[in-house]
Chains A and B, each alone.
Chain A
Amino acid sequence: MLRILAAVVALAAGGLWVAKGANCGWTKTNIPHQTPDPVTGLTGINYEKGFVPGVDFLAGAALAAGVLSGGSLAVKNTNAGNRT
């Protein structure tokens, strides 16, 4: 069960990362939007709340999946020990 959960976590995180553009930098939670100003030729920057997962998000998901997998092994070893 824990291994299945670990796989779900890893696949979901990887799928979300790819769907949001496979950002190879840090996770973005403030998304910059450019605002052109034709009279002056300047371009303003406004930030909007958003979520673009980065490699730190993938690393966190991998860690969580690893903990769940490790937990499943620990449970399996405990059960094997109880049977003997």
Chain B
Amino acid sequence: MRTQWIPILLLPALAVPAPAAPETFDFKDPKGVNAIMFKLDAPLEAISGSASGITGTVTFDPQNPGATTGKIVIASATMTVPNATQTGHMRSSQWLDVEKNPEITFEAKALKNVKTIGDKTTADVAGTFTVHGVSKEMTIPVELSYLKDKLGERLGGNQKGDLLVLRSSFSIKRSDFNIMPGQMENKVSDTIGLTVGIVGASGK
């Protein structure tokens, strides 16, 4: 008699969904939308540009966003401003020296002040930011948007998978990364504003 109850008692367990596992999102975007904008004050007009060579991976668990880790890599040679001469100067050995320093990276170590409402998570991400061969520990505000099962819709195909959109706005000082420190600050501001808007994909 008691053995007949055992399968019935197991039925509620079958109805509980399996816990979500962390997913790894690849930020190399086949649509070429991923970009990081930068802006510096200058006398005639603000210098605004973007970097498009974004790669890297982020491991994100929708059930535990606070455990997110990852690394975003920017190809410094893709940094572009609308004036070709200024672009050349920016990439040259005098400024970013992209030949010696081909990558700008941010490696996330830990998340603090994590708040999740629906599919959106905001947090302060502590990590290491490396520019011009100089690494600095920084904490930046980040918003993560988890878009479940949206990969196929975005790419216009039958691919199954999820998307993770990462947004952030913060500023750095070029002098902290040994980029012409203390020089030409009346022509090129020391403070650089960065705006991040990138998406990673996790296929199934």
Report which A residues bind B (CB closer than 8 A): 24-32, 35, 37, 39-47, 52, 54-55
Q: A42 to B50, Cβ gap below 8 A?
A: no
Interface majority SS on A: helix, strand, loop or mixed? strand
Question: Does B80 touch A at the CB level, under 8 Å?
Answer: yes
Which of B37, B52, B83, B154 meets A29, CB within 8 Å?
Answer: B83
Question: Does B188 touch A at the CB level, under 8 Å?
Answer: no
Q: B50 to A26, Cβ gap below 8 A?
A: no
Residue of B nearest to A25 (CB): B45
Q: A35 to B33, Cβ gap below 8 A?
A: yes
Q: B82 to A29, Cβ gap below 8 A?
A: yes
Which of A40, A44, A47 meets B80, CB within 8 Å?
Answer: A47
Some 24 contacts from A to B, beta carbons below 8 A apart, are A25-B45, A26-B82, A29-B82, A29-B84, A30-B81, A30-B84, A31-B82, A35-B33, A39-B150, A39-B153, A40-B145, A40-B150, A40-B163, A42-B198, A42-B199, A43-B33, A43-B197, A44-B34, A45-B52, A46-B32, A46-B52, A47-B80, A47-B82, A54-B83
Residue of B nearest to A41 (CB): B165
Interface majority SS on B: helix, strand, loop or mixed? mixed
Q: A44 to B83, Cβ gap below 8 A?
A: no
Q: A40 to B199, Cβ gap below 8 A?
A: yes
Per the bound structure, the CA–CA distance linking A54 and B94 in Å amounts to: 25
Q: B83 to A26, Cβ gap below 8 A?
A: yes
B82 contacts across to A, CB distance below 8 A: 26, 28-32, 47, 52
Q: List 5 additional A-B contacts (Cβ < 8 Å) besides A30-B84, A44-B33.
A: A40-B199, A42-B34, A42-B198, A44-B35, A44-B52
User: Which residues of B78-100 have CB atoms within 8 Å of chain A's CB atoms?
Assistant: 80-84, 86-87
A29 contacts across to B, CB distance below 8 A: 82-84
- Whole-angstrom distance from the CB of B176 to the nearest CB of chain A? 26
- Whole-angstrom distance from the CB of A41 to the nearest CB of chain B? 7
